[in-house]
Amino acid sequence: MDVQPLGIKTGIYSIRRLREDEANLYKFMRLEAIQMEPAMFRCTTPAETDLTDAEWVERVKDPRSVFGLFANDELIGLTSILLLNEHEGYLGQSYIREPYRGKGLSALLYQVRMARAAELQLTRLSVSHRESNIASKAANQRFGFRYSRRETCNWQDGTTEDVIYYTLDL
């Protein structure tokens, strides 16, 4: 595995931070994720489908780092880390296209965000998932995250189910 600043490559797969001029890649994949997996994403205000191109550009800038997951040159997934304050980041917006799931690629999503957290000298990370999303729970626990709390949440698929939060002290 070849680790580079804010990027990781293993075989045909690579993950790297998206630049501002690649905000359209983020927009495309994020909207695909919401359309394909509405049960996995929370409702947002404003709705992401209503964002302008300028607002998408703002969403790839600090305090958020957005990473694209690629198979060769094809974008197949994304993830992000959002700074909550100077010491803590929130991991979110993870999505991998269906044909690429079950290949261990979620580890790349965690590794690149952990590298970004180290670069920013963060002392704590938090992550969450829909209660029924067992795959997400398993992934965050493999990286040492521990249960923190739960709260009721409205999801993109129109249902209500608890969101479970976890933290990791670095």
- Give all domains of the chain, ordered by start, each with its CATH number: 2-169 (3.40.630.30)
pLDDT of residue 5: 52
Non-local (6+) Cβ contacts of 135 within 8 A are 106
User: Which residues of the chain register pLDDT less than 70?
Assistant: 1-5
In the chain, the largest separation of any two C-alpha atoms, in whole Å, equals: 41
pLDDT of residue 152: 96
Cβ–Cβ < 8 Å for 114, 81: no
pLDDT of residue 156: 87
- pTM: predicted TM-score of the whole model, two decimal places: 0.92
Whose tokens are 């803590």? That residue is: 88
